[in-house]
Amino acid sequence: MTTETRSLRAAEAVYEHPLARRERILRTAHRVIIYILLLIGAAIILVPFLWMVSTSLKTERQLFRYPPEWIPDPIAFNNYIDAWTSLGSIAPGLTFWRIIGNTLFITVLAMFAEMFSAAVVAYGFARFRWKGRDIVFFIMLSTMMIPPTLTRVPSFLIWRELGLLNTYDPLTVPAWFAWGPAYIFLLRQFFLTIPREMEDAAVVDGANTMQIFFYVMLPLVKPAFLAIGVLSFQGNWNNFEAPLIYLNTTQMYPLVLAIRFFQQSLSKEAPKWHYMMAMATMMAAPILLLFFMAQRYFIEGLTVGAVKG
Amino acid sequence: MTGDPGAFATYYPTLLRYVAVAVGLGILMYGLYRLLRLAGVKHEPATGFTLVVPWIVGFLIFVTFPIGLSLYLSFTEYNILWDRPKPLADPLFNYKRALSIRIVELPEGERPIQVLGTMEGETPETVRYREIGRFNWRGKEYVIGATDGYFLKGVWLTLRYAVLSVPLGMAGALGVALLLNQNVKGVGFWRTLYYLPAVLPAAAVALLWYWLFAPSSGLVNWLLSPIYRLLDMQPLGWFTDKSLVLPSFIIMGLWGIFGANTVILLAGLKNIPKDLYEAAAIDGAGTFTKFRHITIPMLSPALFYNLVTNTIAALTIFTQQAFIPTDRQDGWFVNWFIYNEAFNFGRMGYASALGWMLALLVILLTLLIFRSSAAWVFYEGARQEAGGA
């Protein structure tokens, strides 16, 4: 390349047609505005969240300091232990490990049964033709409209008749009966996308229905299966309504009820926000961790119903 | 409070029954399959039906039966401490009690409770009309009485919440999704960020906002303090101010649900084929035209899905109210109100009737949205078929 052409190029680069220049500036401005708006949105999302964590690390005196401090000095990590000590002094035996154990017991049992039964039912809806299938499927989807309010009182009475109030049964055992229509729907959508040949090949190899389901179909819908696993974990971990109705021994409470018990036993004058926020952070932490690890499945589970359906 | 038998003693009976139910269900399914085959049903329909049986059994035990029972209970009086419900002389009493309104003139010097009187007809107890509001008309004072003003206020609060928060949440989410769809760098990062509040437990969100909105030491009032000084006004009371309870709940609700909607709409936007926009551009369509005639129709299934799920969620809001105590006098969200009628005041029959009314409201609104969907939701039929069986 000669010097001449190079300088020509340079001149070309410096000189810009006024219209092109205007467009370039407009486009840059457009970009800048987009990022500014996104940053404002991010601030709205993050500020309350950071405030929760920040409060959870403050001492009681720092809570009401004015102006508020974002990074407390000193950082009171002890809140995460003291909150439980304080809770234990209100209700004996209400320890961290007990409550976490209860929460995990409910969550894991319900989640496992929910995932498994939803997959079986979805398989029956997706891969086999039988009379009345579409009607049953439609009825199943319409149950999503029924608010839990309607079945709350009679379900309570049924469990009372069975003598199983104040046990974990109402929170875990019914999960075997595929109680999440949304999960069934999601899995069915995935089963539908798998080519028939996969099953036919397995049949030729002499596999029975259960074998096909476990060894062929489930691995193929693994992303969707994990997606409902993640959603189900979240749903059961956060579930507040059912434990509120069925459990009344404080020591049997899951985390969410323990927090509410704590909130209610504190006087209105001294709400102990640093303890409450430490508890809230603890409750959110496993879900957030799960979210960051399995984000793909969260998004998958969330979007498939809306976009594929 | 009953005694604590210890962790192990509370876990293992449930664990046993949990396993037993699973095994029982498995045996039931196997038996049913054999039976169907014996009856001459072919392998495919027999298997398909058998696989769906867990849901059908659950539907009968945990949905159909409770719904029927709840309908029956709604015509009875049933205290939580009683063994059996007591039939009411007037089967519709619970419904009438929830909805009765009376407007009467209030003469000078009289107290509302005296002029409003009691509910007529056969009632199991004396039911008084209580004042829920008054107004002046042609120089005369009138008082509005209701037999259950708390319920009506709760319904009114819940309806306003749904009508205001659902469209706001959807519009905001659509805005952010459109922004994120503009070839923004690091979409994944932004999406994660915006979705964050949606994964937080509702209980944690409620506690957090209760604290953010604390009147004297909350962050929100501190952030707004320059504005208060500028306008020379008192700091707002948020959840403690009865005129601000609804806006406070709406703001909290938007923060929580917003991200989930955004993620759904963004996935919808990414699914719109680019060539549609290119074709439109060749035809000389501007940005707005493209938005109006391509983006909105192609996105309508996702919008529809959000509209339905958000409306149902808004009408049945529960946990947030449980963690944020407001004055019952100003109305509690109806789902929480019904819970309290049943389990705090022990009125199971009455709560069943209220539950039915809420359910009818939810179903009515959902069906309305479904009916309207024919007019504005666009399904790309061909692609659906290819995806289907």
pLDDT value, residue A179: 84
Give the span between the Cα atoms of A202 and A213, in whole angstroms.
10
If asked whether residues A17 and A159 sit together in one domain, one would say: no
Pick the CATH number of B150-387 from 1.10.3720.10, 3.40.50.720, 3.20.20.100, 3.40.50.2300: 1.10.3720.10
Residue of A nearest to B311 (CA): A145
Q: Is any Cβ of chain B less than 8 angstroms from the Cβ of A186? A: no
Residue of B nearest to A170 (CA): B14
Tell me the per-residue pLDDT of A153-212, one tens digit each, with 9 for 90 and over.
999 999 999 999 999 999 999 999 988 888 999 889 888 888 888 888 888 888 888 889
A93 or A13, higher pLDDT: A93
| Residue count of chain A | 309
Nearest to A149 among B56, B211, B338 (CB): B338
pLDDT value, residue B241: 87
If asked whether residues A47 and A154 sit together in one domain, one would say: no
> Where is A169: in which H helix or E strand?
helix A169-172
Q: Which of A56, A71, A90 is the last residue of a domain?
A: A56
Q: Contact at 8 Å (CB) between A171 and A239?
A: yes
Record: contact A139-B59, CB cut-off 8 A: yes
CA distances in angstroms from A291 to A229, A300, A301, B259, listed in the order given: 12, 12, 12, 13
pLDDT value, residue A4: 60
Tell me the sheet residues that pair with B128.
B118
Tell me the per-residue pLDDT of A98-134, one tens digit each, with 9 for 90 and over.
999 999 999 999 999 999 999 999 999 998 999 999 9
pLDDT value, residue B2: 53
Asked whether residue A295 carries a pLDDT value surpassing 50, the answer given is: yes
B 39-98 residues inside an 8 A Cβ radius of A: 44-52, 54-59, 61-63, 65-67, 69-70, 73
pLDDT value, residue A267: 66
Give the span between the Cα atoms of A73 and A97, in whole angstroms.
29
If asked whether residues A160 and A27 sit together in one domain, one would say: no
Answer left, alpha or beta for residue B139, where phi above 0 means left and psi between -120 and 50 means alpha. Answer: left
Residue of A nearest to B314 (CA): A147
Q: What does pTM read for this prediction?
A: 0.89
Instruction: Identify whether A268 is part of a domain.
Output: yes
This complex has an ipTM of: 0.89
If asked whether residues A225 and A301 sit together in one domain, one would say: yes
pLDDT value, residue A305: 60
Instruction: Identify whether A198 is part of a domain.
Output: yes
- DSSP conformation class of B273: -
The domain that holds A287 is classified in CATH as 1.10.3720.10
What is the end-to-end Cα distance of chain A in Å, rounded?
58
* Those residues with Cβ within 8 angstroms of residue B61's Cβ, 6 or more apart along the chain or in another chain: A174, A177
Instruction: Identify whether A69 is part of a domain.
Output: no
Q: Could you tell me the residue ranges of all domains in chain B?
A: 7-73, 101-147, 150-387
CA distances in angstroms from B144 to B1, B97, B148, listed in the order given: 41, 15, 12
Total domains present in chain A: 2
Tell me the per-residue pLDDT of A17-72, one tens digit each, with 9 for 90 and over.
888 888 888 888 888 999 999 999 899 999 999 999 999 999 888 887 777 888 88
Query: From the DSSP assignment, how many helices (H) and strands (E) are in chain A?
Result: 17, 0
Q: Which residues of chain B have pLDDT under 70?
A: 1-3, 380-389
* Those residues with Cβ within 8 angstroms of residue B384's Cβ, 6 or more apart along the chain or in another chain: none
Instruction: Identify whether A88 is part of a domain.
Output: yes
Record: contact A307-B301, CB cut-off 8 A: yes
Q: Contact at 8 Å (CB) between A272 and B233?
A: no
If asked whether residues A200 and A290 sit together in one domain, one would say: yes
Structure tokens at B27: 């045996």
If asked whether residues A295 and A175 sit together in one domain, one would say: yes
- Is the preceding omega at residue B107 within 30 degrees of 0, hence cis? no
Instruction: Identify whether A68 is part of a domain.
Output: no
Q: State which residues form the domain around A155.
A: 79-308
Q: Which amino acid is at B309?
A: T
Record: contact A192-B387, CB cut-off 8 A: yes
pLDDT value, residue A282: 93
Residue at token pair 């060749």: B282
C-alpha A132: how far from chain center:
34
Nearest Cα to Cα of residue B237 among B218, B250, B223: B218
Give the span between the Cα atoms of B231 and B126, in whole angstroms.
51
Q: Span A284-299, mean pLDDT? A: 86
pLDDT value, residue B388: 36
If asked whether residues A10 and A88 sit together in one domain, one would say: no
If asked whether residues A196 and A257 sit together in one domain, one would say: yes
> Best residue in B55, B307, B383 to probe A by mutation, most A CBs within 10 Å?
B55
